[in-house]
Structure 1
Amino acid sequence: MRRIITAIALLGLSLSVLLAPTPASAASSVEVTSGTLVARGVAVDLTLTVTCQAGMSGTSELVLRQRSGDHVAYGTGWAPLRCSGEPQVVTGRVFAEAGGYAFNRGVALASGHFELCEQEYCDYLDFNNTVRVTR
């Protein structure tokens, strides 16, 4: 019985160490702050506020979805990022899918993924926010 309790305690301790956030991911955050129509809905400039560990850099994948009548306008884009350790504003352009529907003013769902790396490790930030697209 004592061996089983010891094994369970060691397993729990091992899992807590493995699941603990790294210093970079604990301090990193992404918030989508605005969206602005470009070229009558062909694209949207998404503005994000990002905080990440100084010295890290990388790119993001941006995805935007918005109801357009009975359909969904969809587009992708990207934005580069070089982290300063302080909150910073990043803008990326999301292009409407070719042959799809144009973006409009109103609420949209912005999601994406940042992959930020330095020499020894990488940090991955996912985000999924609603944003009001304006002109």
Structure 2
Amino acid sequence: MRRITTTLALFGLSLAALLNPTAASAASDVEVTSATLVARGIAVDVTITVTCPAGASGGAEFILRQRNGDRVAYGSGWSPVDCNGTPQAVTGRVYAENGGLVFHKGIALASGGFELCQDGCDYPRFEGTVRITR
């Protein structure tokens, strides 16, 4: 019985080590840095600063929500990401989607995630408030 318990414990630890994302594939730092209105609020260019391991690549999904009266303007967008190991700006255009509501100057919630791949893939997420400017 003791041998079976030990074997199962070692198997579980080995499996956990294999399934954990490697440091080479994980984004180490993400910060939402700016948001700029495009075409009178039909879209917003959202910029994040990301630091991820050199050689990793993939894409970033951007989601933006902002109160517009008693409703919420909503949009999403995408941008490719090529990592070089140093902080870099990545900008994605977020298009308004919610029944014609547009974005305006002011505070919004920016969130999203990545698909970063290098010897396997990782899917880190980010979220933060940002002030939309013109």
Q: Please tell me the TM-score bracket, short chain as reference.
A: 0.7 to 0.9
Q: Which whole-Å CA distance do the structure 2 matches of 1:28 and 1:86 have between them?
A: 10
For 1:16-46, what per-residue CA distance to the aligned partner results, in whole angstroms no more than 9, with x for missing partners?
6357541125552221111011111000000
Q: Which runs of 4+ in 1 moved over 4 A?
A: 1-16, 18-21
Residue in 1 aligned with 2:133? 134
Q: Secondary structure at the match of 1:17?
A: helix
Matched to 2:132, the amino acid is V
Q: Which whole-Å CA distance do the structure 2 matches of 1:13 and 1:78 have between them?
A: 37
TM, length-normalised to structure 2: 0.84
Matched to 1:88, the amino acid is Q
1:43–1:57 distance in 2 versus 1, CA, 3 Å: same
Matched to 1:24, the amino acid is A
Q: Which whole-Å CA distance do the structure 1 matches of 2:8 and 2:106 have between them?
A: 52
TM, length-normalised to structure 1: 0.83
Q: Secondary structure at the match of 2:40?
A: helix
Gaps of 5+ in 1: none
Gaps of 5+ in 2: none
Matched to 1:53, the amino acid is P
1:67–1:98 distance in 2 versus 1, CA, 3 Å: closer
1:29-44 superposed matches below 5 A: 29-44=29-44
Matched to 1:33, the amino acid is T
1:69–1:56 distance in 2 versus 1, CA, 3 Å: same
Matched pairs, number: 134
Matched to 2:53, the amino acid is Q
Q: Which whole-Å CA distance do the structure 2 matches of 1:57 and 1:73 have between them?
A: 30
